[in-house]
Chain A
Amino acid sequence: MDGTGGDLADDLLAQYKFAFDIHVGPVLMVDQDGLIVLANRSAEELFEYPPGGLDGAAVEELVPTDVRVHHPELRQAFFQLPHGRRMGGQRDLQGVSRTGKPVRLEIALESVPAPSGCTWVIAEITDLTARAQVEGRLLAALDAVYGALVMVDQRGLMTMVNRATLAMFGYDEQELVGAPVELLLPERYRLRHPVFVRSYMQARSRREMGIGRQLFGQHKDGHEFPVFIGLTPIETPEGVLVMSSIEDLTERHRSAARIEKSNADLQRVNEELMQFAYSTSHDLKAPLTTVIGLLRFIEQDVLSGELTEALENIRGALDLTERQAARVESVLDLAKSDHAEVARKSVDIGAMIEGLWNELTSDEETSAILTVDLAGAGRICTDETRMYSILENLISNAIKYADHDKPECQVRVALCRTGDDARIVVADNGIGIPEDKHDQVFKMFQRFSDRSAKGSGLGLAMTRKHVQRLGGTITFVTSDKGTEFTVDLPGCCAEVET
């Protein structure tokens, strides 16, 4: 019986061996004790065993050590209820080679009758290494994409997210995979979103999401950011998946805002320039037309020998052209003052005021009285040329617009400091600035008295430009009792020793 049984077993085994040898993929046969009865060459190669090396070995040797202890139990359970099935459910399995290398695989199990009423189990193995490599490369490629990629299944759950998604939304991969895609939306959109997902699953076209609307994503920390989302349906045997490609628009919006702002700036500068060109051409032209008129009469008078009137008109023309030359000079100064660098150094304001006063009152019959109040702070750190121009304009205006109905012309210049900031006040008891002219004070070519008064009409426009270039502000208060200009210059006392 034994001998016959042994022959039978040998015959059966020989038949299986023949079948195994012509089978291309790896295949094993295991008995109820978990010992390998038969393995083909392909299986030996997969697990790095020499020919015949697996025969009689425990199948647990091919199981990774961390799950090896549970395997006999699972194996016995199968033997009790043997039916052909895939091992491990939907999970990918892992084996281990003789040298300890992990082997990704899929196993199909089938029980077959063995001699003596026993059962053998044939395990047909699919080597997933190559597939895992392709998948690995694919995932690496998805991770290399700058935008976030989120794969969503028909239930609206995230099945795959790339690395950019994690960075953009601030989550870990485990927090996202398997979670509803609504997790990435601001709360106010979460309720309605599943409806959109369902309707998209019906339509399945490659398109932009939320056309015409600004979409928002929500970071794990709660902050929202504008996004662009492109949707692409992917047909798979498991059903339709949707690949969403998400782009964070924060930076794009920021740079659009920057461009818009610089456009507005350019437009403003351009308008200023147009205004400048208009005022300049008009104001430079006006005296020329007068000179032309005078010259016509001069010619007429010279021809007819009326030399007295001709001489008078020549003097008039000279006066006009001289005034004009000075104005052209100021226009150029004003244009240049926009571009010249600010060169700060310690400047003695007291000495500057004194020098200016002497110059401005030297050839006048002015009986103006100057009061200087430096409150012990004679020096500030500023651009000397600009500061000179500011003080010159303000003090000369104070003298120029004196009120001759008052007994004396008084000019007061004060410098005071608050922390690192300096304040300069130039006050007079002059005629004041008419109320309806207040908004024109700092515009170009404005004069509030007779045209023959000295001055280009550019003084305060230039003064304000200088103050602005120094990072300061200029304001004034005025009434029929006089005018007071206040120049605030921040940070110009910092490096000055007192």
Chain B
Amino acid sequence: MAVIVVDDEKFDRYLVRRTLREVSPDMSLIEMQDGRQFLDFLGTSNFDDTREYPPETLILLDINMPRATGFEVLEQLKALRDEGHSSARCVVVMMFTSSENEEDKNRAFSYEFVKDYIVKPIDHGQLDRLIGIYQPGSRDAA
């Protein structure tokens, strides 16, 4: 299992890195600066290759980003999944934002692969719980 954080604010990425280090020191973390970088990365990776990536990849996705926003990423992911793109089919997305707006929340949950909506700042308990839920073998919790 790996965690990918997609956020243009470097301090927010630091907060996830540091929290993860304290909650689950062995978990690998990939940092992306914005939605565009993530989509490029997704296009060139084989998430289904378990030798390269653990079977479930947890994505913390910010909403308000330059170049490609969180919603643009979700739309792109949906298209890739519909095409049967193997990497896109393996991801579980957690929205990771400071917006508590109901409209944003409903829009995010309209995508079946969005499993949670975390309002920043994330704390140890939350991250611990997320990792616990989405670890292989406990997928039913999703």
A residues in contact (CB < 8 Å) with B = 278, 282-283, 285-290, 292-294, 296-297, 316, 320, 434, 445, 447-452
B9 and A293 contacting across the interface, CB-CB below 8 Å: no
A290-B11 contact given A282-B101, A285-B98, CB 8 Å threshold: yes
The reply on B43 being an interface residue by CB < 8 A is no
A/B interface sample: 25 pairs, CB < 8 A: A278-B101, A282-B64, A282-B98, A282-B99, A286-B99, A286-B120, A289-B119, A290-B11, A290-B121, A292-B121, A293-B121, A294-B15, A296-B121, A296-B123, A316-B14, A434-B67, A448-B67, A449-B66, A450-B33, A450-B66, A451-B8, A451-B66, A452-B8, A452-B9, A452-B10
Write the nearest CB–CB distance from A53 to chain B, whole angstroms: 102
Q: How distant is the Cα of A450 from the Cα of B13 in the complex, in angstroms? A: 14
Q: Which residue of A lies closest to B99 (CB)?
A: A282
**Distance A316 CA – B10 CA, assembled complex (angstroms):** 10
Q: Is the CB of B64 within 8 A of A293?
A: no
Chain B residues with Cβ below 8 Å from A451 are 8-9, 65-66
- Residues of B with C-beta under 8 A to A286: 9, 64, 98-99, 120
Shortest CB distance A273–B (Å)? 16
B43-66 vs A, Cβ < 8 Å mask (1 yes, 0 no): 000000000000000000000111
Q: Which of B6-60 contact A (CB under 8 A)?
A: 8-12, 14-15, 18, 33-34
Q: Chain B residues near A296: list those with CB within 8 A.
A: 121, 123
Q: How far is the CA of A348 from the CA of B64 in the complex (A)?
A: 40
Return chain B residues, CB-CB under 8 Å to A434: 67
Contacts of B33 in A (CB 8 A): 450
> Across the interface, which residues of A come within 8 angstroms of B11, CB to CB?
290, 293-294, 316, 320
The distance in angstroms between the C-alpha atoms of A288 and B119, with both chains bound, is 12
A448 to B8, CA, bound (A): 11
- Cβ of B92 under 8 Å from chain A: no
Of residues 66 through 113 on chain B, the ones whose CB sits less than 8 Å from some CB of chain A are: 66-67, 98-99, 101
Q: Does B130 sit at the interface, judged by CB under 8 A? A: no
Q: Is the CB of B98 within 8 A of A289?
A: yes
| A320→B9 CA distance, assembly (Å) | 10
| A278–B18 CA distance with the chains assembled, in angstroms | 30
B131 CB-CB contact with A under 8 Å = no
Please name the residue on chain B nearest to A292 by beta carbon. Answer: B121
Number of interchain pairs (Cβ within 8 Å): 60
Residues from chain A with a CB closer than 8 A to the CB of B18 are 297
Contacts of B14 in A (CB 8 A): 316
The reply on B2 being an interface residue by CB < 8 A is no
Minimum C-beta distance from B40 to chain A (A): 14
Q: Smallest CB–CB gap between B18 and chain A, Å?
A: 6
Let me know if A450 and B98 touch, CB within 8 A. no
B120/A290 in contact, CB under 8 A: yes
A320 to B15, CA, bound (A): 14
B114 CB-CB contact with A under 8 Å: no
Q: A286-B9, A452-B10 are in contact. Are A293 and B67 (CB under 8 A)?
A: no
Bound form: Cα–Cα A296–B120 in Å: 13
Determine the distance from Cα of A252 to Cα of B35 in the docked complex, in whole angstroms. 55
Give the residues in chain A near B123, CB-CB below 8 Å.
Answer: 296
A457, closest chain B residue (CB): B66
Chain B residues in 8 Å Cβ range of A449: 66-67
CB distance from B55 to the nearest CB of A (A): 29
**In the bound complex, what is the Cα–Cα distance between A286 and B63 (angstroms)?**
11
Residues of the B chain whose Cβ atoms lie less than 8 Å from the Cβ of A285: 98-99
> How far is B33's CA from A22's CA once the two chains are assembled, in angstroms?
121
Q: How far is the CB of A170 from chain B (nearest CB, A)?
A: 58
Indicate whether B1 reaches chain A with its CB closer than 8 angstroms: no
Query: Can you name the residue of chain B whose Cβ is closest to the Cβ of A286?
Result: B98
Closest chain-A Cβ to B75's Cβ sits at a distance in Å of 12
Most buried by A among B11, B14, B34, B67: B11
Q: How far is the CB of B23 from chain A (nearest CB, A)?
A: 13
Given contacts A282-B98, A316-B14, A320-B11, contact A293 B65 (CB under 8 A): no
Cα(A316)–Cα(B121), bound, Å: 15
Residues of B within 8 A of A288 (CB): 98
**Nearest Cβ distance between residue B134 and chain A, in whole angstroms?**
22
Q: Which of B8, B99, B101, B122 meets A450, CB within 8 Å? A: B8
Contacts of B119 in A (CB 8 A): 289
Asked if B12 and A447 make an inter-chain contact with CB atoms under 8 angstroms apart, the answer reads no
- Minimal beta-carbon separation of B87 from chain A (angstroms): 23
* Best-surrounded residue of A288, A290, A447 (most CB of chain B within 10 A): A290
Chain B: minimal CB distance from A325 (Å): 16
Q: Write the chain B residue with the least CB distance to A309.
A: B18
Determine if A293 and B101 form an interchain contact, defined as CB atoms under 8 angstroms apart: no
> How far apart are the CA atoms of A286 and B119 in the complex, in Å?
10
* CA gap between A278 and B101 in the complex, in Å: 9
Q: Least Cβ distance of B114 to chain A in Å? A: 19
* Residue from A283, A287, A294, A451 whose CB has the most chain B CB atoms within 10 Å: A451
Smallest CB–CB gap between B102 and chain A, Å?
11
B120 touches A289 (CB 8 A): yes
Among A278, A283, A316, A447, the residue within 8 A (CB) of B66 is A447
Closest to A293 in B: B121
State the 4 A-B residue pairs at the shortest beta-carbon distance, nearest first. A293-B121, A289-B120, A293-B15, A451-B8
Provide the residues of chain B in CB contact with A294, threshold 8 Å. Answer: 11, 15
Supply 9 further A-B pairs (C-beta < 8 A) apart from A288-B98, A289-B120, A447-B66.
A282-B98, A283-B64, A286-B99, A287-B9, A290-B9, A293-B121, A297-B15, A450-B33, A451-B9
**B99 in contact with A293 (CB, 8 Å):** no
**Across the interface, do B121 and A289 meet the contact criterion of CB distance under 8 Å?**
yes
Residue ID in chain B nearest A436 by CB atoms: B72
Residues of chain A within 8 A of B65, CB atoms compared = 451
Chain A residue numbers with a CB within 8 Å of B66 are: 447-451
The answer to whether B15 and A450 have CB atoms under 8 Å apart is: no
